[in-house]
Every structure is written in structure tokens, then in C-alpha cells.
Amino acid sequence: MDSLDLLMGGFQQALTLENLFYALLGVFLGTAVGVLPGIGPAMTLALLLPVTFAVGPDCALIMFAGIYYGGMYGGSTTSILLNTPGESSSVVTAIEGNKMAKKGRAAQALATAAIGSFVAGTIGTLLLVLFAPTVAGQVVKLGNPSNFALIVLAMFAVTAVLGTSRLRGFIALFLGLTIGLVGGQTGQARLTFGNPLLADGIDIVVVAVGIFAIGEALWVAAHLRRRPLDIIPVGQPWMSREDWGRSWKPWLRGTALGFPFGALPAGGAEIPTFLSYATERKLSKHREEFGKGAIEGVAGPEAANNASAAGTLVPLLAIGLPTTATAAIMLLAIQSYGIETGPQLFDTEPDLVWALLASLFIGNTLLLLLNLPLAPLWAKLLQIPRPYLYAGILFFASLGAYSVSFQPFDLAILLVIGLLGLAMRRFGLPVLPLIIGVILGPKLEEQLTTSLQISSGDFSTLWSEPVAAIVYAFIALALVAIVASGLRRPKPAAPVEEKEEVSA
Amino acid sequence: MSAIHESTTDEGTPRAGTRLVDRAQYGLAAFLGIVGAYVVYDATTLSDGFADQPVQPYAFPYAIGGILLVLAVMLANATARGDVPQAEEGEDIDLTQPSDWATVAKLAVVFLANILLIDWLGWAITGAILFAGTAYVLGSRTVIRDVAVGVALSVGTWYGFYSGLGLAIPAGILDGVL
């Protein structure tokens, strides 16, 4: 098989001492930041973007992939031991996982989460290897009108399908599009306030660091928990025979749910983890244990979470469309090397892509080896003094933004965008649509321009390609469904009006 | 900036009778309106693009600015009807306490000091001030240790960037010393 040969070549490259070192560093950092409260994988990648100035693209991407997968592992540790999930995808793990920990079964909860993540991550990466080249091979044949439609779909999906409030999703998206307007890409300076430092636009690193790191640190500072959290002590993770018997089917079912959702443009990990939880609850022979610490309720959602992480790499690598915040930052990292992202990536950068895919398998194995014995050590990270943690975030965020061009002006922009990030958290505006708007807005304009240049100004070219027509039909159907379900929804107890959100 | 309970009926069940109106959200709506209006105004200052540019440089700004204005009105409307935001939660976040905006303001001041001083003093000094200052604002009271950690971090990252990444961060007044 062709892909298999390429993958073997990828392994050869990924198993060099240097790349192995970056993979190990990545999973180590990823797990640490996943465990640390207040820092997620997206923020870590944003803070580490300056690294791309110095190391080669393969090293950086291998490390970033390790951080991505590692962050998932670490996040589950926190939600099991603390019952305060840091990422929305770990919410479900916390339901049963923390109950298990309180019953003295923290070791088993951590073990089923870690092994389930390994199983799901490995199967998910295998599916990624199978599907991504095929998808890329098809997408690369599409013309600009279809690419334009796909970008519209990605924006619509992360805004309208994910999240709780569509109105707030659209507000975030259009704020992001506004930031993306700044600069002189079209030949004329837009929104630069006459400042030459803005002529090239706002550096996306500064936007990402400001929104993810500064915004989060300021928001936590406004609400810092004054009493210490109860951390459940934990020993070496292990599972009995019975636990294995109860875990393996949920792992596989979770994987089956997680991967497709991750691969869809409207993916994300929240929906599949909830679906997996509901499924396991229905199928379990120990239904009475649910809500009191059922191991199936940890195994399934954790597997779904990791499989969806692998799934989100399909649109990222095969189409060049990010569907999660972490994937968005990985896209930025690839672009910072001047590498054009999109379906042609498999053809133009085969070594890079296959080394990255191979390193996902390696990283996943390293995570299992690293996490089972080191769990008690990771738990200690939860006791880091909070002033140092958040002062450190502000410190490294400033360094990251300053290192872009050593201009204090960038730090001023960073503060402004950080305050925007703070306001977004206060007003419940989702972060993902904003960052997608900043990244994809300029691309949207570019694709539209090229499409109309080819058709010499004829707008009907936009729906002339079958893929584009299908995408628009799908968006129209989704809009109808949203409007219909919104209108039919019975008035909830709290006077929350859905109507105006729907017409958005 | 917390949500305000407004009683809309004289008596009755507290759930049905009280309406949450988050007044601060009007501020957000106003902000959106100002941004939208400015984007539209900026678009009016742009002239026609090149002959081979089928999408005029002002086309996207008009659309985005216009939609922002619509969203601002919709948010104000939703706020009036009692739509309250769901503030983001997290491990270290305690939403049961009122927001501590004084701490945020102090952090912003420390941050601003870094921006103003960095050209003169250089990152090796202002970075340390930034770390120690923000740690103090966040409640750390071991000043000597905080400064030591801050200096170690800022000087360490300076040399790390210099030798590891090959980037010389401007040294400021320490030029020649580092």
C-alpha cells in the first residue's frame, strides 16, 4: 500500500534522535499544561509559536502534535482529581471520574482514561492516515468557488453548531473578521488608523497569545479562588480484570463516536463525549453505578475525546481548515514557515506530513508510558502557587508577543486584545469563532477574488461547482433546522429568548 | 458589573417574577456598535481597487461593519429581554464571588509599565519587574523570592533566545553588560 510505504518513511524520519526528543518534550509539556489549571493546549501552542523561529518545521510540528495529544491526557487527570474540568471536552470525564476518585478508585479512573486514550488515539491516528490523503486527493481537485464554500462552511459550523448562544458566536466571528481586515493586503490600508506599524495587519501570534493567554490570566485574576481546592491523593494507576472487562467496549465505542465528529467541520469533542456517556449509560450492566462513579462513564468519553482530537487533524491537514482552537494554532505554526496549507500539503510537503503522522503514533505510546507511572507526580503540579502560575503566563505571553518584532507596540496591541479576551469570557463570547474569523477571513476574501477573477466578475461561478452547491444546500438546510427547532422550543423556565439568536 | 435582579411583577414566584438584566451587556452592545460604525466609516474612505480586482477593497468592510451593527442591536434587544451570558468557568475560577476588577486594573498597570519601560530598560529588567509585580498583585508576599525568580526567568529567557533561538532581544540599558 502506498500510504503504508509513506508512513514507514515517516517513522524513519520521526525516529531520529532529534525528532524523538521533540516528541518527548511535546508530550511532557502537553501533559504538564493539561494538568495545570488555567492553561490549555491552545494557550501553550500560542505561547510556543516563537519557537518556530528557531527549529525546523518537522521538529516544531512533532512537538506541537505531542502537546495536542498530551493536553488531552493531562486534562482528564485534572477533571478526575479535582472535579473542575478545564476544557469543555473533559466535562463528562469529571462526572463519573471524580465520583470514582472520591470512592477511592482514582487509580482505576486514571488508568482507564490513560489506556482508553491510548487505544482511541492509536485507532484515530490510523483512521487519519487512511482518510486524510484520500480526502486531500479529492479536495485538491476543487476550484476556488468550492474552497470559498468550504471556508464559509467552516465559519458557519464553528459559530452556529457549536456553543450555547448563536448570537454570541456570530459576535465573536465578526469581531475576528474585523481584526482580520486590518492591514493593506488589498493594496489599500484598512483600519490602520494611519499607523504604519499596522500596515501589515495585526500579527496573528499577538492575537492568539492575547486572546488565549492574557485574556485567560486576567479573567482568572478577577475570580481567583481564595480557598485551596480539594485534591484527591492518588497512587499508581492500575486496573483489575473486571475493570478491563468493563472498559474495552466503551473505549471502542467512544472511538467510533469521536473520530467522525472530530473530522466533521462542525466537530469538536463536546458532542461525541456527551453521546458516548449517554450510550454507555444505556448499554451498561451496571446502570445503577452511573452518577456514583461508573468506570464505563470515564472510559467511553475519554476515548471519544482523544479520537476526536485525531479526527480534527483530517480537515486540518487535508483541507487546511481548523475546527478547534488548538488546530487553528497548529495551522498558524505551519504557515509561519511559509508553507502553504491546504489539500496540496500532502504533495508539496510529504516528508513533513508523514513524519508528523508517524510521530502521532510515537507520541501516543510515549504518553501511555509516561502517564501511568508519573500520575502521582502530575497530581503534585496541581499545588503550584497560583500567583506564580499566572505571573508566569503573563511573562511568557509578553515575551512571545515581543519576540515577533521586538516592538513595544506589539505589547500594547497584546494588552488591548487581552482585555478583549477578558471581556469575551465575562460576556460568554466563545473564543473559537473569533480566532477562526481572524485566520480564515483574509482567505475568504482571497478565494472570492480569485474565483471572480477567473469568471471575470460573474457571481454565478460561486455555485457552479457541485461541491460548492452541496455545501450551500447543507448550510441552508442547517439554517432551516435551526430556525424550526428554535421556534418550536418550549419557553424555558428562565426567561431566555432564543428567537433573536436564531435569525442570526 | 454583576447582573442585576429586576422585579417585573409585584409578587408571585421569584423565578417567574424576577428578570435578570445584565446591564453591562449594553456596554458590549455599544462597543460592537462603535466598532461596526468605524469599520463602515473606514470603508467609505477607501477608493476603487485595481482593474483586475473584482472584489473592491471596501466590499468586505461594508459587509462586516454592517453585520456588526445589526449584531449590536440584536444583543441590546436580547439583553433587554433578559438574556444573560454564561461566564466562562475553569479550575481556578470561583464565580460565586463578585468579580475583582481592582486586581485586573493593577495587573494592567504592571503590564503597561513593561510596555513603557522595555525600550529603555530592556527585557532582562522589565521582564523581572513584570513577573514580580504581577505575582505581588496576585497575592504573593515573598517579595525577595519573587524578584529572584523574575530575574532568573528574564535573564534566562534573554540568554535562551540569544543562544538557543539566535535572536538578540534588545538589551536596553544593559547593552554590553549581558
- What is the ipTM for the molecules in this complex? 0.88
Residue B94 within any structural domain of the chain: no
Nearest in space to A49 (alpha carbons), one of A67, A27, A64, A59: A64
Find the radius of gyration of the CA atoms of chain B.
Answer: 25
Please state, rounded to an integer, the average pLDDT across all residues of chain A. Answer: 86
Q: Are both B109 and B156 inside the same structural domain?
A: yes
Q: Where are the alpha helices (DSSP H) in A319-385?
A: 325-335, 345-348, 350-381
Q: Are both B108 and B76 inside the same structural domain?
A: no
Compute the distance between CA of residue A356 and CA of residue A253 in angstroms, rounded to an integer. Answer: 26
Q: Are both B105 and B168 inside the same structural domain?
A: yes
The three-state secondary structure class of A302 is helix
What's the confidence (pLDDT) of residue B15?
A: 43
Q: Are both B74 and B113 inside the same structural domain?
A: no
Provide, rounded to the nearest whole percent, the portion of chain A with pLDDT above 70: 93
The answer to whether A394 and A422 are in contact (CB under 8 A) is no
What's the confidence (pLDDT) of residue A267?
A: 63
B52 touches chain A (CB under 8 A): yes
Residue B88 within any structural domain of the chain: no
pTM for this model (two decimals): 0.86
Q: Where are the alpha helices (DSSP H) in B18-100?
A: 24-44, 59-80
Q: Are both B16 and B76 inside the same structural domain?
A: yes
Q: Are both B70 and B15 inside the same structural domain?
A: yes
Which residue from B1, B46, B91 is facing A37, i.e. has the nearest CB? Answer: B91
A220 touches chain B (CB under 8 A): yes
Range of the structural domain that residue B144 is part of: 101-174
Per residue in B141-168, pLDDT tens?
999 999 999 999 999 999 888 887 777 8
Q: Are both B59 and B121 inside the same structural domain?
A: no
Buried b (16+ CB within 10 A) or exposed e, B77-110: ebbeebbbbebbebbbbbeeeebeeebbebbbeb
Look at residues B18, B46, B80 and tell me which one is the last residue of a structural domain: B80
Is the confidence at residue A415, as pLDDT, over 50?
Answer: yes
Which residue reads 464559509 in cell numbers?
A: A152
CA angle in degrees (0–180, nearest 5) for A154-A431-B32? 100
Inter-chain Cβ pairs, chain A and chain B, closer than 8 A: 241
For residue A99, the 8-state DSSP code is H
Residue B87 within any structural domain of the chain: no
Find the radius of gyration of the CA atoms of chain A.
Answer: 22
Compute the distance between CA of residue A210 and CA of residue A218 in angstroms, rounded to an integer. Answer: 10
Name the phi and psi angles at A83, rounded to 5. Answer: 60, 25
Per residue in A86-96, pLDDT tens?
666 777 888 88
Compute the distance between CA of residue A112 and CA of residue A95 in angstroms, rounded to an integer. Answer: 15
For residue B128, the 8-state DSSP code is H
When comparing pLDDT for B172 and B130, which is higher? B130
Q: Are both B165 and B113 inside the same structural domain?
A: yes
Is the confidence at residue B11, as pLDDT, over 60?
Answer: no
Residue B138 within any structural domain of the chain: yes
Residue B37 within any structural domain of the chain: yes
Q: What total number of domains does chain B contain?
A: 2
Compute the distance between CA of residue A194 and CA of residue B75 in angstroms, rounded to an integer. Answer: 31
CA of B176 vs chain A CAs: smallest distance (Å): 18
Q: Are both B53 and B111 inside the same structural domain?
A: no
Is the confidence at residue A369, as pLDDT, over 50?
Answer: yes
The three-state secondary structure class of A183 is strand
When comparing pLDDT for A158 and A491, which is higher? A158
Contact A504 B74 (CB under 8 A): yes
Compute the distance between CA of residue A103 and CA of residue A84 in angstroms, rounded to an integer. Answer: 17
B18 touches chain A (CB under 8 A): no
| A:444-463 residues touching chain B, CB 8 A cutoff | 445, 448-449, 452-453, 456-457
Cell numbers at residue A309, please? 482530537
Mean pLDDT of A269-295: 88
**Confidence class for position A311, pLDDT limits 50, 70, 90:** very high
What's the confidence (pLDDT) of residue A228?
A: 66
Residue B90 within any structural domain of the chain: no
Per residue in A34-88, pLDDT tens?
888 777 788 888 888 877 777 888 899 899 988 988 888 888 888 888 766 666 6
CA angle in degrees (0–180, nearest 5) for A247-A252-A300? 55
Q: Are both B132 and B169 inside the same structural domain?
A: yes
Compute the distance between CA of residue A297 and CA of residue A95 in angstroms, rounded to an integer. Answer: 8
Per residue in A142-163, pLDDT tens?
899 999 999 999 899 888 876 6
Helix H or strand E segment including A413: helix A408-426
Count the alpha carbons within 13 Å of A172 in the hemisphere toward its beta carbon. Answer: 30
Which residue reads 495585526 in cell numbers?
A: A202
Q: Are both B71 and B105 inside the same structural domain?
A: no
Number of H helices, E strands in chain A: 21, 0
CA of A86 vs chain B CAs: smallest distance (Å): 5
CB atoms within 10 A of CB A467: 17
CA of A229 vs chain B CAs: smallest distance (Å): 8
Compute the distance between CA of residue A271 and CA of residue A257 in angstroms, rounded to an integer. Answer: 9
The answer to whether B136 and B167 are in contact (CB under 8 A) is no
Residue B89 within any structural domain of the chain: no
CA of B177 vs chain A CAs: smallest distance (Å): 19
